[in-house]
Structure 1
Amino acid sequence: MTLTELRYIVAVARERHFGRAAEACFVSQPTLSVAIKKLEDELDCKIFERGSSEVSVTPLGDEIVRQAQSVIEQAAAIKEIAKRGKDPLAGPLRLGIIYTIGPYLLPELVRNAIDRVPQMPLMLQENFTVKLLDMLRTGELDAAILAEPFPDTGLAVAPLYDEPFMVAAPATHALARRASVSAEELKQETMLLLGNGHCFRDHVLEVCPEFARFSSDAEGIRKSFEGSSLETIKHMVASGMGVTVVPQLSIPEAGQAPANPHLRYIPFSDPVPTRRVVLVWRRTFTRYEAIAALRNAIYACALPGVKRLTA
């Protein structure tokens, strides 16, 4: 068996689809299918059950995939050890980041990283939390910036900052004239949410759990609308479609970006809901100095309105 074949079975287990797994591995589907069939023949067992619409992992295959992930990680560690012997800061760092943090943190973070460690370019991947955790586990990423909570995967975790939430409302809305708003008051509003897969959607539903399902009032059935990005939802709010909840760093600073005259941001009254943003990496990742340099570059960012944390 080869590392390539092991990467193929891990990809199929993750995607539950041969075509998507082949795309993720940058090979043709026949190439991937032949390699996996060869490995199954060599091991004399079935790793996958092929269905008409989805691929499932057999119980024995699940054990094999977990061991394959470990082997891939250990193989990557060998390369990292060799790099570390020369210069742990030399070479790119593959960094993942979730959609609701990336647009607001990355511009300044990248500038800081270039200034501080130009020999360590950041290779960036924006995605959902679940996907980034999979990529960390298989060695496709070195580190990721996520928001807690997320499934315990045995990763090393360093806290970065606690970020408060704000209410975004149309400028003509009654809430726009308020000094603060309680979560209870949002029950009466039409709430605009991110779609499924975004962890920030779950954070908002913790603040306003009634919007996890249809709710009724005197006017009939009210439904929460869904958008693909925070910026899309902000435009929907500005047009008067409802209100939403946003993280502090997504709010443009005065003088740094043109303010939307149709949008207002209002603080929450106590207790203010927040999310904890953390940096995670595999415990077997050997470039400790690279992780430290990345954390320092993050702490060098302005991060207005958040509470900085140290391990």
Structure 2
Amino acid sequence: MTITQLIYVLAVAEHQNFTKAAEKCFVTQPTLSMQIQKLEDQLDVQIFDRTKKPIELTDVGRKIVSQAKNIVNESYRIQDIVDQQKGFIGGEFKLGIIPTIMPTLLPMFLKTFIKKHPKVKLKIEELTTEEIISKITDGHLDAAIVATPLEQENIKERVLYYEPFVSYIPKGHRLHHNKKIGVTDLDLNDMLLLEDGHCFRDGVINLCKAFKDNTNDKFQIESGSIETLVKLSNEGLGMTLLPYLHTLDIKDSEKDNLHYFNDPSPAREVSIIYHKSELKMQIIDALHNVISGIIRGAIAFQNVEIISPLPK
């Protein structure tokens, strides 16, 4: 039994196809098939039911794949130990970022990180929190930047910063002349929200429901981007809430529509998350240090109350 054979097994289990798995592993399909067959012969079991389309794991195959993930991860740890001993920070690193964080945070830290750690090859994907959790669990992401807490047993969280919510209230709205906003002023019935699947949406709903138990979930408009919400709000279709970093790009002509909350300001906790196996920790530490160092100059708020992104 070899690590390579287990990697091939995991690839077939993921893609449910020998040809696609071989392409993923950069080997020919006959080579991959032969190695898996050798492993099955050695164990005297069938890992895959090849009569099914797409290919399926057998009952014992599912147990083997579960253990193979642990073994392959532990084998990668050996290289991690060597890299850390040498002080080497480099290699491919797959990072996920949720849509409400990507456009504001990435431009702030990416250039600095690349300059400071030129040997790291970052592969960055914009993904929902649900997709990120799945990919970290399956080993397809090394880390991610999301709103926390997530309460996932196999995932560790390290806080990067706390980002306050800011109200965007257009002229003509009942709250526009308020210098500051209280949480009890909010009403979901005139709130523009992100569409389902965004954790920032869930945070806003949790914030409103905490103070208005009788609020229903009938919204006027839902959108896929914060920029669209601002434009809709400017058309008089309602108010919205923005993460603080998004307010830094607001046009000068629109800044009068920004209204801050009374202390403690509601905020989201933004963290870098990774699998509990703690692979590639030297790169995770480097990302944490660069981002937290840069963000200190952008967010000066201290008195905040964290709003959970978990749907309720």
TM bucket normalised to smaller: 0.7 to 0.9
Q: Whole-Å Cα distance in 2 between the matches of residues 246 and 61 of structure 1?
A: 47
Aligned CA distance change for structure 1 residues 229 and 295 (closer, same or farther; 3 Å) = same
1:303 is matched with which residue?
298
1:282 is matched with which residue?
275
Paired residues of 1:109 and 1:297 also in contact (CA < 8 A): yes
Paired residues of 2:143 and 2:274 also in contact (CA < 8 A): yes
Aligned CA distance change for structure 1 residues 120 and 213 (closer, same or farther; 3 Å) = farther
1:235 is matched with which residue?
231
Deviation at 1:206, TM superposition (A): 0.6
1:226 is matched with which residue?
222
Paired residues of 1:181 and 1:268 also in contact (CA < 8 A): yes
Deviation at 1:101, TM superposition (A): 0.9
Paired residues of 1:7 and 1:72 also in contact (CA < 8 A): no
Paired residues of 2:93 and 2:142 also in contact (CA < 8 A): yes
TM-score (norm 2): 0.73
Aligned CA distance change for structure 1 residues 261 and 88 (closer, same or farther; 3 Å) = same
Deviation at 1:286, TM superposition (A): 4.3
1:183 lines up with 2:183 in the alignment: yes
Paired residues of 2:171 and 2:257 also in contact (CA < 8 A): yes
Q: Whole-Å Cα distance in 2 between the matches of residues 284 and 239 of structure 1?
A: 49
Paired residues of 1:161 and 1:306 also in contact (CA < 8 A): no
Give the alignment of 1:134-153 within 5 angstroms: 134-153=134-153
Greater than 6 Å deviation, 4+ residue runs: 45-48, 54-61, 210-214
1:251 lines up with 2:242 in the alignment: no
Q: Whole-Å Cα distance in 2 between the matches of residues 247 and 60 of structure 1?
A: 47
Deviation at 1:177, TM superposition (A): 1.9
Deviation at 1:288, TM superposition (A): 3.1
1:3 is matched with which residue?
7
CA deviation map 1:46-66 (0-9, x unaligned): 789x89xx9999987764553
Paired residues of 1:239 and 1:262 also in contact (CA < 8 A): no
Give the alignment of 1:49-60 within 5 angstroms: none
Q: Whole-Å Cα distance in 2 between the matches of residues 98 and 62 of structure 1?
A: 30
Q: Please state whether the residue corresponding to 1:177 is helix, strand or coil.
A: coil
Q: Whole-Å Cα distance in 2 between the matches of residues 201 and 59 of structure 1?
A: 39
Aligned CA distance change for structure 1 residues 305 and 70 (closer, same or farther; 3 Å) = same
Cα RMSD for the two superposed structures: 4.0
2:165 is matched with which residue?
165
CA deviation map 1:124-157 (0-9, x unaligned): 1111112112222222222211111214133332
Q: Please state whether the residue corresponding to 1:140 is helix, strand or coil.
A: coil
1:95 is matched with which residue?
95
Q: Please state whether the residue corresponding to 2:165 is helix, strand or coil.
A: strand
Q: Which runs of 5+ in 1 are unaligned?
A: 13-17, 217-221
Aligned CA distance change for structure 1 residues 258 and 55 (closer, same or farther; 3 Å) = farther
TM-score (norm 1): 0.74
Q: Which runs of 5+ in 2 are unaligned?
A: 304-312
Paired residues of 1:99 and 1:126 also in contact (CA < 8 A): yes
Return the letter of the residue paired with 1:261. Answer: E
Deviation at 1:193, TM superposition (A): 1.1
Q: Whole-Å Cα distance in 1 between the matches of residues 129 and 49 of structure 2?
A: 26
Aligned CA distance change for structure 1 residues 69 and 245 (closer, same or farther; 3 Å) = farther
1:272 lines up with 2:265 in the alignment: yes
Return the letter of the residue paired with 2:231. Answer: H
Return the letter of the residue paired with 2:269. Answer: R
The alignment of Structure 1 onto Structure 2 pairs a total of residues equal to 284
Q: Whole-Å Cα distance in 2 between the matches of residues 157 and 201 of structure 1?
A: 21
Deviation at 1:262, TM superposition (A): 8.2
Return the letter of the residue paired with 2:96. Answer: G
Q: Whole-Å Cα distance in 1 between the matches of residues 115 and 157 of structure 2?
A: 25
Aligned CA distance change for structure 1 residues 134 and 74 (closer, same or farther; 3 Å) = farther
Deviation at 1:213, TM superposition (A): 9.9
Paired residues of 1:142 and 1:282 also in contact (CA < 8 A): yes
